[in-house]
Structure 1
């Protein structure tokens, strides 16, 4: 068997994964005829039939499946290596963060970032899913957790604390009920496996309710339910501050509870060589330090707003 050109194998992987010659040809910027010719050329060189052609597309033969299993991951590795080696602009940065910390903490500070680094072009991605730095073109991120992520540099920015929060409409409906005793208030259950309400009652005493007025599987839905006055939520003070300041939520009682999770700045090893990312990193950590110095007053403000 003569040497097989890498380009033929690349087109084979493309067609095998798409399963349709027309779509594969469009992705490769080829005509269907040209791509079909390349696949037949590969089959001739290997002296093996790799695809069964049908009216709805193409399907791998047993030998085609074996070839894809053998070389598919290698082409993925080549793509990742080439992506890492491509020339990258040092003034363009992609940052990923969850919607809560993005809107409540980062966005209000962006005017200062633009003033400090007008040369940087920042692309923001808001997502609750952890970014995969190996597969996605993201340079740096903000994460909430305990800092235990493999394959990234993680630097702690600041901690979080929680307190019961409710819409003013709910507080009015409760008609003077003691906000320090939540036993008779409608409570909103957090997404499992959270046990924060149990921790809250362990710390503050009182009788746990037999059931929540509603149980949620996402923090976004939980926050909206609290804003609509359905019940009391355990609000994260960092991400709830803007809602409290706007009068849309009130803190109940006069205490807060620190949690083990914190907000972290994370980035892959490749970002160590990116001048723009390092400039943004230094700015974010300086903002976090300034925020931490303000925390005692922010906590007092949050409690007085209730």
Structure 2
């Protein structure tokens, strides 16, 4: 464990040694010469030996003792290193790098297609993506800002509402019936795609809820293909593997581009949570992070 309790006294000693006087050190440190002298004397008392040979007068009235020169050289290096570290930390606050964390599905289906718009608006800000389905510790600085789904209650973090969500049914165009609209009989003949992502298991409605809503009592809701990744579920639907219950936000672009068709378009299942931008208060104090948060809000709404 480092002992830095006497850091101010060490700083006073190093400055006095360079200037050869307490007066010069005081001007550099913006304190009185008497305060510098007191800090140096407290350091000498703690060490049990003097650090300077004191002369009576002159601008260089302090002479460093020979047996302290090596330690003084290391102290000079150490204080310079501390100063550089502080400069780097301060620079980070205003640097143009923003680390954004979000799940694979959100990044692949919503964020990535829009990042070019952010880059055009803020060419000096570099975005780094931390793509993970785990909850990143934003309070510990693992990322600057995140996009999360939930109730908006994450202790210690500032949350900003982005958008609500609902569940809809989608499939590839190739699965649509040759005549007429999809109905219960058509759905009973399809492979059902089940999203078993851990986060979705308890909070997302499933095929049982959907069957009840559209009035299909004999739908075998437990059959079909189970996948534990929302983005893979969407891709399976695009490639014609079956019919999926998907988050509307995540499939909106695929529907617009014709890769997916929304079936039972009059039906939807609202869910109780929404998307939020989340960040620590000190991360939002950095202008680039705040700009990214504000861009998320304006883009999503």
State the TM-score, normalizing by the size of structure 1: 0.60
State the 1:237 CA deviation. Answer: 1.6
Q: 1:259 — aligned with what?
A: 271
CA contact (8 A) 2:205 2:269 kept: no
State the Cα deviation string for residues 147-190 of structure 1 (Å, max 9, x = none).
Answer: 2322211111011122111122322xx54474142344321223
Distance 1:242 1:288, change over 3 A: closer
Could you say which residue in structure 2 is the equivalent of 1:224?
A: 235
Aligned-partner Cα distance in 2 for 1:258–1:120: 36
Q: Aligned ranges for residues 1-306 of structure 1 at < 5 Å?
A: 86-87=89-90, 88-90=92-94, 91-171=96-176, 174-176=177-179, 178-181=181-184, 182-191=187-196, 192-193=201-202, 194-207=204-217, 208-209=219-220, 211-255=222-266, 256-289=268-301
**Per-residue deviation, residues 203-249 of structure 1 (Å, max 9, x unmatched):** 22212315322222332332232223221100212111222233222
- Residues 180 and 254 in structure 1, CA contact (< 8 A), matched pair in contact too: no
Counterpart CA distance in 1 for 2:295 and 2:241 is: 39
Instruction: Extract unaligned runs of 5+ from structure 2.
Output: 5-84
Q: Partners in 1 of 2:236 and 2:116 — Cα distance?
A: 31
Counterpart in 2 of 1:13? none
Shift of 1:138: 0.8
Distance 2:121 2:159 in 1: 24
The alignment covers a number of residue pairs equal to: 209
The 1:104/1:188 distance shift into structure 2, 3 A limit, reads closer
Deviations 1:111-170 (A, max 9, x none): 332233223222222222221113443110111222232221111101112211112232
- Once residues 235 and 121 of structure 2 are traced to their aligned partners in structure 1, the CA distance between those partners, rounded to angstroms, is 35
- Where structure 1 has 5 or more consecutive residues not aligned to the other structure, the ranges are 8-81, 290-306
Q: Show CA shifts across 1:38-77 (max 9, x none).
A: xxxxxxxxxxxxxxxxxxxxxxxxxxxxxxxxxxxxxxxx
Whole-angstrom distance in 2 between the partners of 1:213 and 1:118: 46
Contact 2:164 2:273 in 1 (8 A): yes
SS of residue paired to 2:292 = helix
Larger radius of gyration: 2
* TM-score computed with the length of structure 2 as normaliser: 0.61
**Cα deviation, residue 93, structure 1:** 1.1
Contact 2:139 2:157 in 1 (8 A): no
Distance 1:284 1:5 in 2: 42
**Paired residue for 1:38?**
none
User: Runs in 1 of length 4+ with deviation above 3 angstroms?
Assistant: 4-7, 134-137, 174-178, 192-195
CA RMSD of aligned residues (A): 2.8
